[in-house]
Amino acid sequence: MPFRKTIHFILQTIVLGLAAAFVYVLLIEPQLLKHDTNVVEVTETPAAPPPATPASGGPSTAAFNGPGAGPVSYADAVQRAAPAVVNVHTAKIITRKVHPLLDDPVFRQLFGDRFTQSRREIQTSLGSGVLISKQGYVLTNNHVIEGADEIQVLLADGRSMEATVVGTDADTDVAVLHVDAASLPAIVIGDSKRLRVGDVALAIGNPFGVGQTVTFGIISATGRDHLGITAYEEFIQTDAAINPGNSGGALIDANGELIGINSAIYSRTGGSQGIGFAIPINLAKGVMTQIIEQGHVVRGWLGIEAQDLTPQLAETFGLSGMNGVLISGVLREGPADSAGVLPGDVVTSINGQAVADTSSAMKVISGQKPDTVILLGGIRDTRPFSLKVRVQQRPQQAGLGN
């Protein structure tokens, strides 16, 4: 009997000891129960606080959606820029004949000229523009005011006034107008060279004549060329809705600064399809300055037609892996012809600087002052050549030639 009590006491002590050990491991040293396995550690961004509500009367751009997010509203940017965006109304007198059949000799013999007189009509159109200075200069598109007999500018504050044409440049589709009025607003000019794909863009204009309208998007691309819209192309592409009537209006950034002049859209229906093009303000500003100071734009010109040296063309000419432009045509008695440039030449450098494509070559040539001598380097019949060419001023009717 004492032996059985002893065994029972020993077993009871063991069970209590195991239970105490289990409780200790479970509560005090839980890591002893884990297996030796790989553990993935991740760092998560703390939950964003709810957007702050701007104080009454405070700026709407004070509310953000969290770290790195854009403002909830761009009302401040629009408020800064919108007063300087104007509506441009043009009127043009056109002459129409009543009917072609009335020019028939038999009809005229019977009835004389009483039915064959022409009828005059007034053709109107709508566009937009941007007040660029308090002196009254307005930037718009050349195609907005081309051929107009009368131009009226309607300001955002309701004032309407007649505008005069300071000058135009069809090669970039830029026109400069002037209005004579006091207390004019002026937009703040930005820097289009600093634009990045993905930056916010806002288009302000007068689409379809409904009145001043703001649309929102981003910069879809920069430096767009080879579109066949103008001779000198360096367009900003945006998906901010641009429609007929927006032409000449402002493309602004999130700070309300002018970064482009809305110019064209890609559309199969006549409305916005998310592909709009604007003239970079740096380009438009340079053209505007020349128009105001000189009355016209002066550009260098060689009298050549050129095309990009594609990999296929390079292989054909035995120039694989080389960049440059292929001279496809030379104007007789032009600067290039007088210097000895021939069709089929491949120009790879201008003044020692490599030429990547036709667009870059055109910019370099057009930027030269007339009577400047430049050095063309390239390949002719697989052999290197270099020629000095005296640049002339580009004629007004030079088309798309360089």
Number of other CB atoms surrounding residue 98 within 10 Å: 12
Does residue 225 share a domain with residue 273?
A: yes
Of 297, 321, 344, the one marking the end of a domain is: 297
Q: How many domains does the chain have?
A: 2
Provide the phi-psi class of 295: left if phi over 0, else alpha when psi is between -120 and 50, else beta: left
**pLDDT at residue 27, rounded to an integer:** 61
How high is the pLDDT of residue 113?
60
Task: Indicate which CATH number applies to the domain containing 161.
Answer: 2.40.10.120
Asked, for residue 385, whether it belongs to a domain, the answer is yes
Q: Is there a single domain that holds both residue 154 and residue 182?
A: yes
- In sequence order, what E strands does 147-199 have? 150-154, 160-162, 164-169, 174-178
End-to-end, the C-alpha distance of the chain in Å comes to: 121
Per-residue confidence (pLDDT) for residue 9, from 0 to 100: 67
In a domain, 402, yes or no: no
CB atoms within 10 A of CB 183: 7
Spatial CB neighbours of 261, under 8 Å, sequence gap ≥ 6: 130, 139, 140, 141, 174, 248, 249, 250, 251, 278, 279, 281, 284
Mention every residue, 6+ apart, whose C-beta is less than 8 A from residue 192: 222, 236, 259, 260, 280, 281, 282, 283
Q: What is the pLDDT of residue 398?
A: 54
Residue-number span of the structural domain to which 190 is assigned: 75-87+129-297
Residues 181 and 210 in one domain: yes
For 345, other C-beta atoms within 10 Å of its C-beta total 24
The one catalytic residue in 128, 192, 247, 359 is 247
Q: Which tokens sit at 223?
A: 């430096």
368 and 386 fall within a common domain: yes
Q: What is the pLDDT of residue 222?
A: 92
Is 55 within a domain? no
β-bridge partners, 138: 131, 177
User: Which pLDDT does position 359 carry in this prediction?
Assistant: 83
Q: Is 225 found in the same domain as 82?
A: yes
pLDDT of residue 59: 41
Per-residue model confidence (pLDDT) at position 313? 82
Per annotation, catalytic residue among 89, 128, 143, 345: 143
10-residue mean pLDDT series, the chain (402 residues): 64 70 61 52 48 42 49 88 94 70 63 60 85 94 92 93 93 94 92 93 92 93 84 89 91 95 81 85 93 90 88 79 86 91 90 86 88 91 90 72 62
Question: Structure pTM?
Answer: 0.72
On whether residue 248 sits in a domain, the answer given is yes
Known active-site residue 173: yes
CA distance 60 to 63: 6
Q: Please indicate whether residue 143 is annotated as part of the active site.
A: yes
- 143 with 237, same domain: the answer is yes
Q: Which residues contact 272 (CB under 8 A, 6 or more apart)?
A: 215, 241, 242, 243, 265
Tell me, yes or no, whether 292 and 373 share the same domain: no
Identify whether the C-beta of residue 122 lies closer than 8 Å to the C-beta of residue 93: yes
pLDDT at 55: 41
| Residues 344, 264 within the same domain | no
Active site residue 247: yes
**376 lies in the same domain as 361:** yes
The helix, strand and coil proportions of the chain, stated in percent and rounded to the nearest 5, come to 25, 30, 45
Tell me which of 169, 171, 173, 253 is the catalytic residue.
173
CB 297 within 8 A of CB 232: no
Given 275, 297, 319, the domain boundary residue is 297
- Choosing from 279, 297, 315, the residue where a domain stops is 297
Classify residue 1: in a domain, yes or no. Answer: no
Domain membership of residue 187 (yes or no) is: yes
Q: Are residues 280 and 309 in the same domain?
A: no
Which amino acid would we find at residue 138? V
Single-letter amino acid, residue 80: R
Residues 280 and 316 in one domain: no
